[in-house]
Structure 1
């Protein structure tokens, strides 16, 4: 492998003299942000279902902030990442966490006197059938899917608070955040190495919208550093590219020795619903659902020109470099054979 990687010296590095509180702080994105923010001078604390005292994370449920809201005292910025991800939840449960939970965290932040609230939405707020180059002015679209529904509605909750002048709000719409240890690596490889393989609808022609974890964190550093340019705004944060799902997941299959199974959409969606429901009835979580197949069959790409022009955002880690790092991690962690 050719070592042509970016280093920390290449990355944006403004001084971050702020107290940042992250919900979902133990997650893949939360941990990566906290590490980088601390390196740039920020104080970082947070909440997650399981405490991590070493990293300033307390245990708590975002739908019950009254049990942990005192941890918001003195916080400048709340970054709300905690959510149920994917389509494999009932609409009622997804709404309870992703919409009601967001509203309750927001109220706690307002009551504590935090100045800013940065809300993680998703490019899925555009629905499944947005066109190439969709930017932040493209209308959101609620689909027959709990994830898109609740992401659209959670945005409405936080933007209403901004409009009312209660707190400065920024909405971030990440692409498919990937990298060593991410769900976009672990879960597909785990399925690929099974005899049944990893299912992709429509010949893998659907569009995957990657954003490598370091690139995403760099974007969030710039969001923190540019309060005026981000207040009241929505930003797409991706690698600025889209690719057929067969290309992204095909690379994971090649490195793992696994396989991808291509199914017509008319079969993939109902089959995913059936198999996923059976798996979940055993008490094991599965992301298989019709909505997952529709997500993997998206038609368009998203624009990052707004983040480029207003924040100076530029993804530094290329897809090839990211895949090299993923393969190294996968072999070192034992996810695939050395």
Structure 2
């Protein structure tokens, strides 16, 4: 990650934090920043990384790793099945049941803070521009959307009962080098079929560059005012998908193809099922098309007011980092 001298840097010396999903794109970035700010960091993921104090474990069964919670003051719960391509029962098992069990283990261990990663997907795919934390969530049959709404209810109920201090974070579309919002589109752009975007790419993408997101999260970790609150963290802008993914198209020389939403959604379901049946990992589904066809963006005024959060890395700056990373890793030409 890049660093900026203007970035807010609360002191976290003396804090001990455990991250679920610690090996993921966001988990690794969060771990690195916490350590840079003086915190002791532990993690749990399906695959261990003992060099970074990450133990192997399943969030649906904390009994095998709950001893890692001893002495922890804050849990950051990032582990989830991401996207709408999973079966509802599988998404519920990880995103809702897993959250409930990690939360219970944290309470039993005497952890004081639980920071839960939700998503802006909880507003559904059809909402007024500028929705904020006071706006209602909207179940819509998408497995990811609905299970994230359910998981929020689990953790906020524990906070209301006085069992543990909870903060819910609703990240925007987190992007940057190595992110799924970069790797997957670059892969699709290379294919003869191109990157599919519904409705001419007119849908609104709500990016949050990884450094900006981690800035906001560190402010939440450090802030007592964040307990019991819900925060949207994004770059504070919404851009048409054709503009955001157009950056990736230009650097890769790939192809973007568009279809009306009425055709794109069912076609994505069919294509995604076929690809997954043949063992290829694919996020193609109607839920992905819904995400790429959202009518508006989300307000970060609460994060600005309460946390003094301000996103510093612009899309152009972030894309420069992405392009360099993609060239260095052979994903695009030199």
TM-score by length of 2: 0.98
Structure 2 partner of 1:237:
233
Alpha-carbon contact 1:119-1:171 (below 8 Å) kept:
yes
Q: Does 1:14 align with 2:10?
A: yes
Residue among 139, 142, 148 paired with 1:142: 139
Residue among 79, 82, 87 paired with 2:79: 82
Structure 1 vs Structure 2 CA RMSD: 1.0
User: 1:87 aligns to what SS in structure 2?
Assistant: coil
Residue among 297, 312, 318 paired with 2:308: 312
Residue among 128, 137, 147 paired with 1:131: 128
Structure 1 partner of 2:248:
252
Alpha-carbon contact 2:137-2:149 (below 8 Å) kept:
yes
| Alpha-carbon displacement from aligned partner over 1:86-134 (angstroms, at most 9, x marks no partner) | 0101111100000000000000000000000000000001111111111
Q: In the aligned structure 2, how far is the partner of 1:281 from the partner of 1:173?
A: 32
Alpha-carbon contact 1:78-1:117 (below 8 Å) kept:
yes
Q: Does 1:152 align with 2:149?
A: yes
User: 2:177 aligns to what SS in structure 1?
Assistant: coil
Deviation at 1:8, TM superposition (A): 3.4
Residue among 142, 165, 175 paired with 1:178: 175
User: 1:36 aligns to what SS in structure 2?
Assistant: helix
Alpha-carbon contact 2:202-2:240 (below 8 Å) kept:
yes
What are the residue-to-residue correspondences of 1:274-285 with 2, within 5 Å?
274-285=270-281
Deviation at 1:63, TM superposition (A): 0.5
Alpha-carbon contact 1:170-1:234 (below 8 Å) kept:
yes
| Alpha-carbon displacement from aligned partner over 1:180-219 (angstroms, at most 9, x marks no partner) | 1111000000010111101000110111000000000000
Alpha-carbon contact 2:2-2:211 (below 8 Å) kept:
no
Q: Does 1:168 align with 2:169?
A: no
User: 1:8 aligns to what SS in structure 2?
Assistant: coil
Structure 1 partner of 2:260:
264
Q: How many residues align?
A: 333
Q: Does 1:294 align with 2:290?
A: yes
Q: Does 1:70 align with 2:59?
A: no
Provide structure 2 residue ranges, at least 5 long, that are not aligned to the other structure: none
Alpha-carbon contact 2:118-2:148 (below 8 Å) kept:
yes
Q: In the aligned structure 1, how far is the partner of 2:199 from the partner of 2:157?
A: 38
Alpha-carbon contact 1:173-1:237 (below 8 Å) kept:
yes
TM-score by length of 1: 0.97
Q: In the aligned structure 1, how far is the partner of 2:71 from the partner of 2:184?
A: 38
Structure 1 partner of 2:29:
32
Structure 2 partner of 1:96:
93
Alpha-carbon contact 2:59-2:79 (below 8 Å) kept:
yes
Alpha-carbon contact 1:173-1:236 (below 8 Å) kept:
yes
User: 1:99 aligns to what SS in structure 2?
Assistant: helix
Structure 2 partner of 1:56:
53
Structure 1 partner of 2:332:
336
Alpha-carbon contact 1:6-1:317 (below 8 Å) kept:
no
Structure 2 partner of 1:195:
192
User: 1:9 aligns to what SS in structure 2?
Assistant: coil
Structure 1 partner of 2:109:
112
Q: In the aligned structure 1, how far is the partner of 2:4 from the partner of 2:73?
A: 25
User: 2:215 aligns to what SS in structure 1?
Assistant: helix
Deviation at 1:7, TM superposition (A): 3.7
